[in-house]
Amino acid sequence: MKLSNNIIWHYMTVTKKNRHDLNGHKSCVLWFTGLSGSGKSTLANAVDYALFQQNCRTYVLDGDNIRHGLNSDLSFEEKDRKENIRRIGEVAKLFVDSGIIVSSAFISPFRDDRQLVRNMFEKNEFIEVFVDCPIQVCENRDPKGLYKKARSGMIPGFTGIDSPYEKPNHPEILIDTKQMTIEQSVQKIMDYLNEKQILS
């Protein structure tokens, strides 16, 4: 059932294109997805910094941070993860509409949910970055001690242990953080943005 009837879209005078022209670059979302500990937050932060250094308008949306506020009512059950990603997709869309280059760092374990977000955007605006890293490596890194807790049964439904992660089939960018350094990864992403003429 549609909950909101009689709602009519109001078109604003300042367009997304106007904002791109003002900023000197286009806007997009770099959608980092991968296991906990794969390096999503590290890379989102590093790319954000690299872009900021080039005078780009940027922002990071990070799973842990958003779950402290906007999505603090959501759990890690499948239906709540779905709602988590849907809301972040909508927030990212607002940022992209405002001319900003968004780096989002959410596990976003389900293909359908990522596809739903992709469908919210225009062509070339949604850039899926698969932060690929074997679970053994993530578990060795265990930057927050969560794998240890999950293995001891303290966090039921932990992604990669007893909750699934569905790898992207055709990500725009694949980063193997077992093999690549943070600097190499940032360079690969910057090269992609330049190649797609997002930064010009």
Ligand X SMILES: Nc1ncnc2c1ncn2[C@@H]1O[C@H](COP(=O)(O)OP(=O)(O)O)[C@@H](O)[C@H]1O
Ligand Y SMILES: Nc1ncnc2c1ncn2[C@@H]1O[C@H](COP(=O)(O)OS(=O)(=O)O)[C@@H](OP(=O)(O)O)[C@H]1O
Residue in this structure with the two tokens 């979302």, named with its chain if needed: 29
Q: Which does 181 bind (CB under 5 to 8 A by kind): ligand Y, ligand X, none?
A: ligand X
- State the catalytic residues: 108
Binding residues for ligand X restricted to 56-95, rule: CB under 6 A: none
Beta carbon of residue 61, minimum distance to ligand Y (angstroms, whole number): 10
Nearest to ligand Y by Cβ — which residue?
63
Q: Is 32 in the site for ligand Y (CB under 6 A)?
A: no
Binding residues for ligand Y restricted to 37-66, rule: CB under 6 A: 37, 40-41, 63-64
Q: Is 84 in the site for ligand Y (CB under 6 A)?
A: yes
Beta carbon of residue 88, minimum distance to ligand X (angstroms, whole number): 14
Instruction: List b or e across 147-163, with b for residues whose CB sees 16 or more CB atoms inside 10 angstroms.
Output: beebeeeebeebbbbeb
Bridging pattern class, strands 126-132 and 173-176: parallel
Beta carbon of residue 136, minimum distance to ligand X (angstroms, whole number): 13
Q: Is 157 in the site for ligand Y (CB under 6 A)?
A: yes
Nearer to ligand Y, 76 or 192 (CB): 76
Listed residue (20, 44, 42) closest to 189, CA to CA: 44
Give me the helix-helix angle, 182-195 and 40-53, nearest 10°.
60
According to the annotation, is 72 in a ligand binding site? no
Q: Across the strands, what pairs with 159?
A: 163
Would you tell me which residues interact with ligand X (CB under 6 A)?
Answer: 34, 36-43, 105, 141, 143, 177, 180-182, 185
Q: What residue numbers does the annotated binding site for ATP cover?
A: 34-41
